Structure 1
């Protein structure tokens, strides 16, 4: 008989054994102890048969920024099943339980990095973030007009107070960016092989930073964050200073980063990579917190959500707030798609509210149903800010 429950400390060894097998890595005893300490901070849900762990997933309690506001987010990670128990619906059941528990904890939204996008789409997650990968050959490392500040190297112990304020200001320019804590910086961002530098302008203000690795004549830039054009030039010119050390430079950056346009040769390799997925856990609470522009007249839409049925219903948006009409046990309510208003699934709602695409684009794709006049109303009240995500879990 299968049982789903939270893992306890006694189950951690089983969890680590499954993770190492599923993701094909090996931990030392010291690394295992570090992992176990971090597991105390997570909700780990497991499926057990006869006391043996067959499948599991982790929920990380995190915060993200959406239109400059903080939202509680449940980060799904470490989803794994022993091969002999696959295709039995165990992950589906674990995801249902995780959604219910995230809702109880008021984590209105959930992110994950998919092993297969189509798999998680079935359960209501949808792409919300892309990144752009630039590949630049040594011959194209040509300087831009010089900035007048200076570059400073940053040691790990000074990372939070030096670089975090730059990241925090930058994170408010996008939807979905993680609110990093000091512990997150120390544990997740600066590994032993990563170098960190910061740009300080003439007014002694830190306006940009870069995290990178140098291996085998390859400069791998993992984060390049600039708050203004001067900082962007300074960071690029710092990269160019490595022209005798690097045959190739790769840069991970936002899809809307204008850096290629600024280069002497913009004909570099640019790859757009689908990255993280998002899911709305509690639609009503998210809409209540969401900073819509002034709503001139009420807007109606219908949401369908198979795996979190509390989200299914008819929503009315107005300047008075959010009203929801859903079917409740023993009561009748308007839960069928309305003849007026907009219709969309929970997947599209997440991508829409995080700024992955605008309403008219989803309407043209057939992902947003209803009259074009209502789509235009939604366009008018939805603030513009695109999405980006720089982290991994």
Structure 2
């Protein structure tokens, strides 16, 4: 199979592929136009002139320990049935790593149909959520009147983005939304029955917002973002105002959400659900950007096993001082060793080094693991954008 960018002339073929693999009707609008093809985001696996499979690596930026960094969002992965089990997608994934590296997208995210499949190419679970099921009466206690509620639209994008950016600073791996992303979110919501309301302070500033819909007596929270406990409780009060329309509330909340601590009866149905997978595309650049937890000069070496990206499949020495210096192409002497999957979890803060060692995923002397592990830190991850 020949792997290359999908050219404009294949627009009908790729739209047929999308319709086939995602069960869309033949008269459904095309997902791709000529403007989105060429040397842009879509690569395909070809047999001669025949398109057999494709994927997209959409350009994003995510929040990483106080910095905005490039990320390639893998989506629209599809294969015609006659080309399945021919390693088409594997070839596309490996090629996408080269493309993302050239574009300075040092992380990659994807929503998997199978975690085991994408693990084979270096992606690993990096997110999970709490799915709450509340009774509407659980929010009855939130009676304090705080500010006022208003419908939100495209004219409120700047306000929503300000609150959103403030909210995501506590997380790693959250998409930085530019104006185009916000417009797409609102446009997609307007195609369905998603409602948008915000809570404003008495000074007229947006303090929090809520995206939701109501179906079959259930209030479905799609996104709830707030700047303080007061604004969070004000949004809960707004939800309770719908007690005549819904008897239950469902919410896929961030993994660190603490709502159970502020309701009267915390004995609720709470599920942990796995989310996106993450992969480091460029080990050296990620190490240079990492905010190591020390003020003292120190160093360590780490061997990363990444058979799909030769630029990562090396031993790296990290010298921490006034700046971070990372050397590669070293010999096989190292303090610790792990796969690219475990390294990706460690970098994004999903696990710490001791946890990795306890799971048998990090090799090294116990004392060295504890010493080097103290340089890293866990941080909750969260994403509510999908591609």
TM range (shorter): over 0.9
Contact 1:199 1:231 in 2 (8 A): yes
Structure 2 CA distance, aligned partners of 1:385 and 1:217? 36
Residue equivalent to 2:340: 346
Shift of 1:201: 2.2
Superposed CA deviations along residues 181-216 of structure 1, whole A, max 9, x for unmatched, are: 111112135512211111122343322111111223
Contact 1:301 1:314 in 2 (8 A): yes
Shift of 1:42: 4.3
3-state secondary structure, aligned to 1:17:
helix
Residue equivalent to 1:329: none
Residue equivalent to 1:374: 368
Shift of 1:147: 4.3
Residue equivalent to 2:283: 283
Mean CA deviation greater in 182-191 or 209-218: 182-191
Shift of 1:60: 0.5
Alignment of 1:229-244 (within 5 A): 229-244=229-244
Whether 2:168 is the aligned partner of 1:167: answer no
Contact 2:135 2:247 in 1 (8 A): yes
Superposed CA deviations along residues 250-280 of structure 1, whole A, max 9, x for unmatched, are: 1121011001221122122111111101111
Whether 2:2 is the aligned partner of 1:8: answer no
Shift of 1:78: 0.6
3-state secondary structure, aligned to 2:184:
helix
Mean CA deviation greater in 35-44 or 272-281: 35-44
TM-score (norm 2): 0.93
1:158 aligned residue (155, 158, 168)? 155
1:56 aligned residue (47, 54, 57)? 54
Contact 2:288 2:326 in 1 (8 A): no
TM-score (norm 1): 0.91
Contact 2:212 2:219 in 1 (8 A): yes
3-state secondary structure, aligned to 2:246:
coil
Residue equivalent to 2:273: 273
Mean CA deviation greater in 259-268 or 351-360: 259-268
Residue equivalent to 1:253: 253
Alignment of 1:305-316 (within 5 A): 305-316=306-317
Residue equivalent to 1:26: 25
Whether 2:325 is the aligned partner of 1:322: answer yes
Alignment of 1:122-161 (within 5 A): 122-155=120-153, 157-161=154-158
3-state secondary structure, aligned to 2:164:
helix
Residue equivalent to 2:302: 301
Residue equivalent to 1:213: 213
Shift of 1:75: 0.8
Alignment of 1:71-150 (within 5 A): 71-150=69-148
Structure 2 CA distance, aligned partners of 1:237 and 1:42? 45
Contact 2:119 2:341 in 1 (8 A): yes
Point out where structure 1 has 5 or more consecutive residues left out of the alignment: 327-332
Structure 1 CA distance, aligned partners of 2:267 and 2:32? 43
Residue equivalent to 1:200: 200
Shift of 1:383: 4.1
3-state secondary structure, aligned to 1:231:
helix
Shift of 1:139: 4.2
Structure 1 CA distance, aligned partners of 2:168 and 2:138? 29
Q: CA RMSD in A?
A: 1.9
3-state secondary structure, aligned to 1:163:
helix
Superposed CA deviations along residues 60-79 of structure 1, whole A, max 9, x for unmatched, are: 01111101101111111011
Contact 1:18 1:82 in 2 (8 A): yes
Contact 2:11 2:34 in 1 (8 A): no
Structure 2 CA distance, aligned partners of 1:25 and 1:138? 36
Change (3 A) 1:377 1:246: same
Structure 1 CA distance, aligned partners of 2:64 and 2:46? 37
3-state secondary structure, aligned to 1:108:
strand
Structure 2 CA distance, aligned partners of 1:168 and 1:110? 21
3-state secondary structure, aligned to 1:78:
strand
Change (3 A) 1:36 1:235: same
3-state secondary structure, aligned to 2:363:
coil
Structure 2 CA distance, aligned partners of 1:194 and 1:252? 15
Shift of 1:37: 6.5
Shift of 1:109: 1.0
